[in-house]
Structure 1
Amino acid sequence: MGLQNLTNDQKMNWERLTKPGRAIQETKFADPTTLRDLGLRAPVQRLMGKVGLQGFLNTEARTYERYTLEFLSTLTKGETKKDPS
């Protein structure tokens, strides 16, 4: 999951965030403010619409902005592998 070439601070942060027993309350709803601020609202809307889950974006529930941002900060953009056939 893109854990190469991390600085010492990033490694320490990763260790802290992935510590066993860390309590996180999951939710099935997206936070519209966070999606908007990250510029992800439109792509997520398209994706959810394609799989028939548009209703989840129209339902708001309490989310945890900091945990969401922490999770998203661990993701990296990778290359799409081409099918060899």
Structure 2
Amino acid sequence: MSIYISDEEKLKHPYYKLMELRGDALETELTSWSRLELIEWLSWNDRNGVYKDEESLREFGNTVSKEEAIEIITRQITEA
């Protein structure tokens, strides 16, 4: 089942709004988010990824740091 989200609705949602940012604006926004907010975005954007602490500890033996999360998000947005 596919759920369609209009462009207007996307612009109101912070996760979609983030995807429209680039450069300094993206970096500034990401650094204002908490580590947990960044991990939630990563989990939302990449459902097959391993980002949440419990999953990451089990799979890799460590957790995603805030800096790593920012790097991953920046890459996912700019390379999309």
Q: Choose 1 or 2 for highest CA Rg.
A: 1
* TM-score, normalised with respect to structure 2: 0.30
* TM-score, normalised with respect to structure 1: 0.29
Query: Which structure shows the bigger proportion of residues in helix conformation?
Result: 2
Higher relative contact order, structure no. (Cα contacts within 8 Å, ≥ 6 residues apart): 1
